[in-house]
């Protein structure tokens, strides 16, 4: 069967960017023996098509049929006789209204496909398709957000949408796939009957390549980067403190569970990766860090994330003394290659987010076998079992989080037990697994017609 995956948001995105979900899902459909292509918002530019290989050829090629003399093929092997190993990425012209993408040529393009997957029930283009009498039998929804009292803007948007568009016309029997269990419950509350949580896939190609290459000098991947420079500065501060006779933290030096630091000192390292913003509870993270760093000489933090200038400034001011002391290493961003090094330096991830659709960093932690202490958010409910392969906390008080972090710090058996349990979780991370879950409940009536 042929599937058209429509990213219905009115914002431009580069198909070659890291972990574009529509691209990862389309490739997985092709690996499963079907064909899937992707629609992305192209703004006022002319329609264009890019062919992307499903297999790892490293080639992005423009469609010669559409672009004629402007088509090109960068170096790499392509089997031109095997078009099913490519996905077509259509950048369609259109307009964006309140973040809703409207595509001028989507209707005509969709006639070539057996199924159309739209994103988010509350996108107007999605609604137009899953309520269209001629199309709705071949439309499925893939949905992420869910109700949370913190998510006031989205809650208001859905209230307006439900009382206008959904009240005017609904399609309760549309097959819906969600990124989490809360999102599934959310859609059921809107009247949708066929709702199935399937999760999200993770693009690990770059990390797989690094692992296969067996790179023994991982440090070269961070040389000269923002994080690499911050690490060098922090190590220099620690080294200077030790040379001047400051507390050398024998507790850390005697602890075989903590990671080696480039200064020769040994630290137990907590990591946070994500935006610096109120939704991610960043000030609470700073409170946890302050408590742990004040109490434990052998503890260090790595924090990777950017955010609004004013809020991020207040956050950094709150932890400035620890950055200056070399105990917190902060960088606003890091590449995927850098992250493979950074995750390797960490002993535990802290993720105290208030609300998260999925939390891709939780999946990344599984890939690297990293123990996690997380709030109970969308991704945590799909990925983890509290006490077995992670610590999932409903209690968002400082004492509870510090106690959980200290237990992870002190109990090497707990960490090892979690790492072993995470080995069995890695198969959940792929888009291939998401496709397998979808196929279990894919609209059978239309699929039989396709066959």
- The predicted-structure confidence for 368-394, as pLDDT tens digits, reads as follows 999 999 999 999 999 999 999 999 999
Q: What is the pLDDT of residues 181-222, one digit of tens each?
A: 999 999 999 999 999 999 999 988 778 878 777 765 677 889
Q: Between residues 29 and 209, which one has the greater pLDDT?
A: 29
What is the predicted pLDDT for the residue at 36? 95
Give the tokens for residue 290.
């302050």
Q: What percent of the chain has pLDDT over 90?
A: 74
228 and 175 in one domain? Answer: no
Q: What percent of the chain has pLDDT over 70?
A: 86
Element (H, E) at 116: strand 115-119
358 and 218 in one domain? Answer: yes
443 and 407 in one domain? Answer: no
Q: What is the CATH number of the domain that holds 364?
A: 3.40.50.2000
Q: What is the CATH number of the domain that holds 38?
A: 3.40.50
What is the predicted pLDDT for the residue at 273? 97
How far apart CA 1 and CA 34 sit, in angstroms, is: 5
Count of C-beta atoms within a 10 Å radius of residue 205 = 15
How far apart CA 360 and CA 431 sit, in angstroms, is: 13
How far apart CA 272 and CA 355 sit, in angstroms, is: 15
Q: Of 116-125, 242-251, 308-317, 341-350, which gets the smallest average pLDDT?
A: 242-251
339 and 368 in one domain? Answer: yes
Three-state SS for 443?
coil
Residue 451 has pLDDT above 70, yes or no: no
What is the predicted pLDDT for the residue at 221? 84
What is the predicted pLDDT for the residue at 449? 59
Q: What is the pLDDT of residues 337-379, one digit of tens each?
A: 899 999 999 999 999 999 999 999 999 999 999 999 999 999 9
What is the predicted pLDDT for the residue at 215? 60
* Residue 316 binned pLDDT confidence (cut-offs 50, 70, 90): very high
* Beta sheet of 139-143, edge-to-edge order: 61-62, 48-53, 86-92, 35-41, 2-6, 115-119, 139-143, 175-178, 194-197
How far apart CA 411 and CA 413 sit, in angstroms, is: 5
Residue 76 has pLDDT above 80, yes or no: no
What is the predicted pLDDT for the residue at 265? 54
Q: What is the pLDDT of residues 127-170, one digit of tens each?
A: 999 999 999 999 999 999 999 999 999 999 999 999 999 999 99
Give the tokens for residue 52.
């992307």
Max avg pLDDT among 8-17, 199-208, 256-265, 416-425: 416-425
90-94: average pLDDT: 95
234-238: average pLDDT: 93
376 and 293 in one domain? Answer: yes
What is the predicted pLDDT for the residue at 241? 79
| CA 391 vs CA 281, 409, 414: distances in Å | 17, 13, 10
Q: What is the bridge-based pairing of β-strands 115-119 and 86-92? A: unpaired
What is the predicted pLDDT for the residue at 65? 44
Residue 75 has pLDDT above 50, yes or no: no
Residue 79 phi, psi dihedral angles, 5° rounding: -90, 95
Q: How many domains would you assign to the chain?
A: 2
Rounded mean pLDDT of the chain? 87
Look up residue 145 and give its DSSP letter: -
240 and 187 in one domain? Answer: no
Q: What is the pLDDT of residues 281-303, one digit of tens each?
A: 999 999 999 999 999 999 999 99
What is the predicted pLDDT for the residue at 16? 78
358 and 221 in one domain? Answer: yes
Residue 178 has pLDDT above 80, yes or no: yes
- What is the DSSP track for 53-68? ESSS----EE-HHHHG
Q: Which domain holds residue 377?
A: 205-429
Residue 65 phi, psi dihedral angles, 5° rounding: -65, -35
213 and 102 in one domain? Answer: no
Residue 263 has pLDDT above 80, yes or no: no
218 and 76 in one domain? Answer: no
441 and 400 in one domain? Answer: no
124 and 38 in one domain? Answer: yes
183 and 253 in one domain? Answer: no
How far apart CA 214 and CA 248 sit, in angstroms, is: 34
What is the predicted pLDDT for the residue at 445? 61
* Residue 250 binned pLDDT confidence (cut-offs 50, 70, 90): very low
Contact by Cβ (8 Å): 32, 432: yes
């Amino acid at each position: 069967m042929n599937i058209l995956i429509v990213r219905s948001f009115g914002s431009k995105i580069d198909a070659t960017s890291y972990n574009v979900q529509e691209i990862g899902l389309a490739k997985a459909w092709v690996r499963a023996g079907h064909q899937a292509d992707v629609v992305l918002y192209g703004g006022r530019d002319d329609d264009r098509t890019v062919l992307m290989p499903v297999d790892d050829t490293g080639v992005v090629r423009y469609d010669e049929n559409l672009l004629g003399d402007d088509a090109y093929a960068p170096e790499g092997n392509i089997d031109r006789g095997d078009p099913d190993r490519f996905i077509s990425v259509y950048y369609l012209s259109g307009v964006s209204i309140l973040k809703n993408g409207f595509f001028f040529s989507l209707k005509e393009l969709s006639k070539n496909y057996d199924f159309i997957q739209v994103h988010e029930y509350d996108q107007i283009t999605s609604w137009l398709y899953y309520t269209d009498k001629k199309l709705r039998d071949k439309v499925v929804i893939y949905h992420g957000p869910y109700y949370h009292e913190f998510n006031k803007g989205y809650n208001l948007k859905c209230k307006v949408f439900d009382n206008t568009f959904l009240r005017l016309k609904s399609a309760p029997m549309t097959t819906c796939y969600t990124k989490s269990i809360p999102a599934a419950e959310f859609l059921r509350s809107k009247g949708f009957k066929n709702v199935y949580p399937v999760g999200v896939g993770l693009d690990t190609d770059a990390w797989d390549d690094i692992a296969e290459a067996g790179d023994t000098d991982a440090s070269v991947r961070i040389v000269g980067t923002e994080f690499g420079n911050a690490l060098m500065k922090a190590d220099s501060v620690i080294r200077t403190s030790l040379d001047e006779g400051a507390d050398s933290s024998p507790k850390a030096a005697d602890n075989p569970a903590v990671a080696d630091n480039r200064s020769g000192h040994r630290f137990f390292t907590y990591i946070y990766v994500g935006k610096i913003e109120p939704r991610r509870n960043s000030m609470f993270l700073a409170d946890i860090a302050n408590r742990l760093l004040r109490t434990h000489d052998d503890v260090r933090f790595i924090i990777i994330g950017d955010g609004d200038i004013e809020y991020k400034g207040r956050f950094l001011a709150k932890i400035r003394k620890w950055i200056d002391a070399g105990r917190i290493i902060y960088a606003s961003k890091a590449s995927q290659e850098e992250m493979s090094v950074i995750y390797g330096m960490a002993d535990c991830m802290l993720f105290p987010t208030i609300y998260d659709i999925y939390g891709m960093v939780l999946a990344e932690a599984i890939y690297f076998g990293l123990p996690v202490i997380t709030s109970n958010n969308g991704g945590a409910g799909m990925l983890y079992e509290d006490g077995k392969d992670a610590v999932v906390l409903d209690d968002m008080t400082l004492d509870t989080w510090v106690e959980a972090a200290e237990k992870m710090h002190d109990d090497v058996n707990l960490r090892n037990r979690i790492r072993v349990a995470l080995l069995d979780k890695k198969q959940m991370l792929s888009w291939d697994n998401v496709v397998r879950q979808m196929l279990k409940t894919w609209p059978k009536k239309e699929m039989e017609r396709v066959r």
